[in-house]
Copies of this chain bind each other. A is one copy, B any other.
Amino acid sequence: TGKKESFFQELVNILLSYVCKSFRRSSKVLDFHHPHQLREGLEGFSLELPDQPENLEQLLVDCRDTLKYGVKTGHPRFFNQLSSGLDVIGLAGEWLTSTANTNMFTYEVSPVFILMEEILLKKMQEIVGWSEEEGDGVFCPGGTMSNLYSVLLARYHFFPEVKTKGMTALPRLILFTSAHSHYSVKKSAAVLGIGSENVVVVKCNDWGKMIPAELESSILTAKDQGCVPFYVNATAGTTVYGAFDPLNAIADICESHGLWLHVDAAWGGGLLMSKRHRVKLQGIERAWSVTWNPHKMMGAPLQCSAILVKKRGLLKDCNQMCAEYLFQTDKHYDTSYDTGDKTIQCGRHVDVFKLWLMWKAKGSEGFESQVNKCLENAEHLFDKLKQRPDFELVFKSKPEHSNVCFWYIPPSLRNMSPGPERNRRLHEVAPKIKAKMMEQGMAMIGYQPLGDKVNFFRCVFSNPATQTEDVDYLLEEIASLGHDICIRAETDL
């Protein structure tokens, strides 16, 4: 065990030096290699699984290599994902969680974590604006699963017979979500046996917000066709634009038609922590369920996503199977704390402790200032982009969330008139720059097309380590990588 102890000590040194490097601007965000290069083994880093044991020294080398060829998602210049940053207290929480190595299904094996989950859910429900008497929930393995729960619960609420009889006992159900919403709504419909074609995609305005009148007319059309609308997903913070759907207007429509209102605030939920920004989610308290991922805007380590449900008891009624080997009713403690029967999983990872510990370390106010700072970074980027002739904003209005969307315009396109040829060429710019950026490894940002808009960059801020200097660096980096890229004219193809 002396050997094991010094192994752990050395591992901790490796990990902590990685943490320090993650925050250092001079270090690379990534050291990119293609899949075949990594597969073939780099400088003795072999991924193959042996029959015989390797020694502890070799394991430490493996650990070092794993980190070396990975991506520093905590680096202040990692802008690639909605989840970024490396909160050291959250990290400490994860280390403890894995050391405790237990399961969330019953109180008897997770007494403390079960209570922490209850307290966190209660707090989040209070912040959403639900009353003392309302509210239930569970932490899920990611926002897509949280959204899936919402559809599952809505279906069960209106048609409880579905649990035993299945969808064949039901009329044709229709659900609604906006064109800019996350793909998990369609995915949930596919998984749950509702079918992705029964998801009506409601039009958005130019800023990516669902148009309430379009929702209303979609509902009426579905009813006319003999279908049964039952669920509306409104998004608070869309994935690409960061748009907030008008929740109160949507809630009015849901009320008048008796539909379940879910708010996917996976990305936007963090703004509820900020007095300045929570106004953007006005009406969220009218939702029947809410997805909120603290692993995004609140900077908790992956994964940490909650589904909050207004109606108490529904989660349990919908999902319980009363397995007697696990949920014995003749236990000597209050078995309402055996929350595992509320979930669609059996075993469940402990995702709550890191968030609980971060909350202790920062207080609600710490989250508030963290969120405010991320949005200030977005405003800074927006202001810079407005001033630069080599960039073009996807829209001219100030960002509501921390998403900022823009094109880099290389010199060869700057004097071209708008039209299909310019679009075709502009579409190739972002992937080319991204490829070069990954080879260089000094920053990382995502891009995508959307609707009639060709490939553009989406910058997002959720890492409190990012400063305005990093924002400035990003623009210089893009401009320098993009300045001399060559996009062939149509006639050269």
Tell me, in angstroms, the Cα distance from A123 to B49 when the chains sit together. Answer: 8
Q: Let me know if A289 is at the binding interface, CB within 8 A.
A: no
Tell me, in angstroms, the Cα distance from A214 to B168 when the chains sit together. Answer: 26
Structural contact, B449 and A324, CB atoms closer than 8 A: yes
CB closest chain-B residue, reference A197: B164
Structural contact, B183 and A346, CB atoms closer than 8 A: yes
Question: Of residues 153 to 191 in A, which have CB atoms within 8 Å of B's CB atoms?
Answer: 155, 162-170, 172-173, 182-184, 186-187, 189-191
Structural contact, A71 and B108, CB atoms closer than 8 A: yes
Structural contact, B362 and A53, CB atoms closer than 8 A: yes
Structural contact, A333 and B91, CB atoms closer than 8 A: no
A120 neighbours in B (Cβ, 8 Å): 49
Tell me, in angstroms, the Cα distance from A11 to B357 when the chains sit together. Answer: 13
Tell me, in angstroms, the Cα distance from A458 to B328 when the chains sit together. Answer: 13
Q: Let me know if A213 is at the binding interface, CB within 8 A.
A: no
Structural contact, A346 and B144, CB atoms closer than 8 A: yes
Count this chain's copies in the assembly. Answer: 2
Structural contact, B166 and A58, CB atoms closer than 8 A: no
With A54-B360, A302-B103 as known contacts, state yes or no: A70 contacts B112, CB within 8 Å: yes
**Chain A 238-250 near chain B by CB (<8 Å), digits 1 or 0:** 0110000000000
Tell me, in angstroms, the Cα distance from A53 to B88 when the chains sit together. Answer: 15
Structural contact, A167 and B168, CB atoms closer than 8 A: yes
Q: Let me know if A107 is at the binding interface, CB within 8 A.
A: yes
Structural contact, B144 and A344, CB atoms closer than 8 A: yes
Interface pairs (29), CB distance under 8 Å:
A8-B16, A12-B12, A15-B99, A34-B334, A35-B107, A35-B114, A35-B334, A47-B116, A49-B119, A50-B360, A51-B364, A53-B363, A54-B360, A66-B353, A70-B111, A91-B98, A94-B98, A101-B302, A108-B438, A142-B346, A142-B349, A143-B347, A166-B167, A166-B195, A167-B193, A183-B323, A186-B321, A325-B458, A330-B455
